[in-house]
Structure 1
Amino acid sequence: MAPKRGFGATWWGRRWLEVLESFGWDTRLRRGRAYARAGNVLEIDIKPGVVSARVQGSRPRPYRVSIEVKTLSDREWERVIGVMAGRAVFAALLLAGEMPRDIEEAFRQARLSLFPRSAGDIRTDCSCPDWANPCKHIAAVYYLLGEKFDEDPFFLFLLRGRTREQLISALREKRAARVEQEQGEEIAPASPEPAGPSLEGQLDRFWDEGEELAGLRFLPVPPEVEAGLLKTLGPPPFWKGKEPPEVVLAGIYRLISRRAQEEWPGDSDRGAS
């Protein structure tokens, strides 16, 4: 017997379903979950602000479902991206296919919301004769959307009006402008250092360790995104494995990271040898 199809495998996928349930749709959503698990959603297409789907019901011809979500304006997106650009980890996580944990807080700071705030933010239509909203066909599509969000968090942003390319490009542009501004700020001139002994006077110590080396500290920290670089680069052209390379190599990366932390613990007084 095949395992039950699960939805909301990621925190953002679960959050999507929780938001819908908060609108008082619990019972209706449960009716659609069985349809979704049975594979009755034959086709789903996500575009900025609109989801189109075909759902097999009790009749021979599949029903057509449309879900519209209010998109953010250009000015609203500019506010959100301005907040996100202030945190370098956001771009790193998103490029690795991870949704930042505090993404909702970033939207709140911009006085906006990533997820629909109310049922009024969503408009739906189904060609079935059921007048209930959501009907089980619409509810099934809601669950499939949660699954799509699990696979790629950028679908959430697409539903709000921005493609992956648009979002990443805007983030990079904002980050670059911020770094350029910081580098352009006036820096107080450093005090001149006292002249040290000449090179000729200490040739016999040329290959010795300097005193400053004793103060050197290694502080390895866990990455924000596990195997983030591999996820960003994607599979190499020669890859023939059934699983993505980051999944296959994850164990090796974890082992190397653990060995590095054991070799150079953060509180060690050890320098370099």
Structure 2
Amino acid sequence: MTDRVRGYPAFPKGHRRARTWWGRAWLQAVEDTSLDQGQMRLGRKFAAAGMVGTITVSPGRLAAVVYDTEDTYRTSVSLTPLSDAEWERFLAQVTTKSGHIAALLDGDMPHDLVVAADDAGVQLLPGIGDLDPECTCPGWELPCRHAAALCDQASWLLDADPWVLLLLRGREREELLALIQSDEDRPDGATGEPATEVFAAPRVPLPAPPPLVELGPLPEFDPVPGLDVEALRWLVIDAAARARELLVTGELPVLEEWPDRVRMACTVDDPRLTARLAAVGPGLPRAMRAWSYGGAVALTLLDTAWAPSKAEAARANTAWEGEELPPATVWRNHWTVESEGLQLRLGHDGRWYPYRREGTDWWPAGPPERDPAAAFIELMP
């Protein structure tokens, strides 16, 4: 039996966000369960300030000491491990594609593996209510700011190593690899090398290329009449970026002409392309900034207003008053503090997008937050 406890050194100071889809899914589960988004905001600040100590991960539990201004607290988050039957179904899904094993060994968690596991009745990623935080602090919130900080940094661990999630679910990396490659799990009469050994083996360096030969003068030729070579180069760059997005996320949304033009300008990042696209339609620089912060959802908020439900408006006003923020003028999904030149816009995804007045226009000013107070505070100098 392998040692199912792993310790990870404390993260240094520095603000960061979950960058992988599974790291963001972890945070989403925490945020959806939380009843106090103010504690989530404080937790993010604690995590960025380096106030979380060494994180210990074991089946069903991750724990750390979290430092506060006056004391230190022992904080943990529990997640129910998978049963033996669930592990058997999960391993059956892993071994159906050798690419799944290779991806996990390379620090990636394929989206289709998680979907296949869900179809087999095995939930890898936590959902609403699956994470159970505990802390020795006197706070009653679930999670408190210390547990929120631990959960935030746990998403950073998951970004770097998806095996952390599998350990939380009950099995350690070497143990799983041994089960995958064991002879007992192989069909009778199977031959060849276990896939885990093949993908875990160090890469063999390629042989040296053959010596160059003298080719002589290359033939001269002209591009096909009417072919825009520069535009073709941009299309190749964009196609490569979209192919990578499809491999990473398993999704490739189809956009209308204007959003796709903005997306391409942000993807290729060539001033010549930006100038050509800007000549077709006005407002491209402002639209590009919106896309860089929140993609297609942020882009729709630039020139389109909509009316939130009464429940959404009430939640926003409650959060605003609870943080004692400046009075705001509310129009549809816009919360505006004219005296500060600041504004929040509620998106259809339930997140708040910060804006700042620049000249006569409102410009996107940062990434979205689930809590309106947190989004507004980030705008303050």
TM over 0.5: yes
User: 2:120 aligned with 1:110, yes or no?
Assistant: yes
| One-letter amino acid matched to 2:41 | R
- Distance in 2, Cα, partners of 1:103 & 1:31: 34
TM-superposition CA deviations, 1:144-184 (whole Å, max 9, x none): 1001111111001001001111222222338961484699x
The 5 Å alignment of 1:29-40 reads 29-40=40-51
Instruction: Establish whether residue 233 from structure 1 lines up as the match of residue 194 from structure 2.
Output: no
Match of 2:64 among 53, 68, 71: 53
* Distance in structure 2 (CA, Å) of the matches to 1:6 and 1:132: 24
Output the TM-score relative to the length of structure 2: 0.45
State whether residues 26 and 125 of structure 2, in contact with CA within 8 Å, keep that contact through their aligned partners in structure 1. yes
1:18, CA displacement in angstroms? 1.7
Worse-superposed segment, 139-148 or 16-25:
16-25
- Structure 2: runs of 5 or more not aligned: 1-11, 193-197, 204-381
Would the aligned equivalents of 1:85 and 1:174 in 2 still touch at CA under 8 Å?
A: no
SS at match of 1:34: helix
Q: Which amino acid aligns with 1:161?
A: G
8 Å CA contact 1:86, 1:175 repeated in 2: no
Is residue 151 from structure 1 mapped to residue 120 from structure 2 by the alignment? Answer: no
Matches for 1:184-199 after TM superposition, within 5 Å: none
Amino acid at match of 1:89: G
**Are residues 1:21 and 2:31 paired?**
yes
8 Å Cα contact 2:93-2:113 kept in structure 1: no
Alpha-carbon offset, residue 130 of structure 1: 0.7
Deviation at 1:133, TM superposition (A): 1.0
CA distance in 1, matches of 2:184, 2:46: 44
CA distance in 1 between partners of 2:201 and 2:47 (Å): 31
**Could you tell me how far apart the structure 2 residues matched to 1:12 and 1:43 are?**
22
Tell me which moved more, 165-174 or 138-147.
165-174
CA RMSD for the aligned pairs?
2.9
Counterpart in the other structure of 2:81: 71
Judged with a 3 Å threshold, the aligned counterparts in structure 2 of structure 1 residues 180 and 108 are, in CA distance, closer, same or farther, namely farther
User: Residues of 2 paired with 1:128 and 1:155: CA distance?
Assistant: 26
Q: 1:130 matched to which residue of 2?
A: 139
Q: Residues of 1 paired with 2:145 and 2:56: CA distance?
A: 18
The answer to whether the aligner puts 1:12 opposite 2:26 as a matched pair is no
Quick one: higher RCO (CA 8 Å, sep 6+), 1 or 2?
Answer: 1
May I ask how many residue pairs the two structures share in their alignment?
187
1:156/1:115 Cα in 2 relative to 1: closer, same or farther (>3 Å)? same
Match of 1:98 in 2: 108
TM-score by length of 1: 0.61
- Which residue type is aligned with residue 82 of structure 2? L
Deviation at 1:22, TM superposition (A): 2.5
Alignment of 1:147-226 (within 5 A): 147-173=156-182, 177-178=186-187, 180=189
Map 1:244-255 onto structure 2 (within 5 A). Answer: none
Q: Which range moved further: 31-40 or 165-174? A: 165-174
Question: Unmatched 5+ residue regions in structure 1?
Answer: 184-227, 235-273
Q: Distance in 2 between matches of 1:134 and 1:182?
A: 51
> Residue 61 of structure 2 contacts residue 76 of structure 2 at CA under 8 Å; is this kept in 1?
yes
Shift of 1:111: 0.7
Is 2:22–2:125's contact at 8 Å kept on the other side of the alignment?
no
Say which SS state the counterpart of residue 137 (structure 2) adopts: coil
Which whole-Å CA distance do the structure 1 matches of 2:89 and 2:63 have between them?
29
